Amino acid sequence: MAVLTLRNSKRVIKERAQVEQACKSANVIYEVWGTERLPKNLSSRNLSDAEKQQLLKAFDPEIQRLYKTRGYKTADVVTLYPETPNLDAMLAKFDKKHVHSDDEVRFVVQGRGVFTLFPPGGEIIDAELHPGDFITVPGNYKHFFTLCSDKQITAIRIFTDPAGWVANYVD
């Protein structure tokens, strides 16, 4: 379950209904897909292609729903861990405030990561996502992304077009 920290008030939100409400108020889509369907004994680092396919299959109903309702076209699985080549350079692309023209759509499988969200007119939110959490940061929504100290995450990414998914840096 996600943990939200509101930066100014230091309010911490952990309870599911309140997390859902706070995300809704911040204009971010948050859903709990849960961990029950995660394949057992999944590698924590280099996932094999078979494991990636198994994961995409396990969450195919949700992925197909999003293809239909939001027009996405592809999905993949990404794993980052301390030994990932060029990890710091890769993370540095996304740890500064930016927007994308497309939605940023993620389902966390293993590990964790923090989306820092800048809701228009609202308080800045650090949303720490854990396995089972799904988020959509809408296109042109200011945010950045960081890993936690363990530098480890596996996530399903869903795209309209991965080639068009680039960071445009903003103030």
Binding site for Fe ion (CB under 5 A): 104
Give the chain's end-to-end CA distance (angstroms, integer): 30
Closer by beta carbon to Fe ion, 51 or else 104: 104
Closer by beta carbon to Fe ion, 104 or else 128: 104
Residue 2 and residue 30 in contact, taking contact as beta carbons nearer than 8 Å: yes
Least separation in angstroms between residue 163's CB and Fe ion is 15
Residue nearest Fe ion, Cβ-based:
104
Axis-axis angle for helices 49-58, 60-70 (nearest 10): 70
Least separation in angstroms between residue 137's CB and Fe ion is 6
Least separation in angstroms between residue 67's CB and Fe ion is 21
Least separation in angstroms between residue 4's CB and Fe ion is 18
Least separation in angstroms between residue 128's CB and Fe ion is 16
With 0-12 / 13-18 / 19 or more C-beta atoms within 10 angstroms meaning exposed / middle / buried, residue 50 is exposed
72: CB partners within 8 A, 6+ apart:
63, 66, 103, 105, 158, 159, 160
Closer by beta carbon to Fe ion, 39 or else 138: 138
7: CB partners within 8 A, 6+ apart:
123, 124, 125, 126
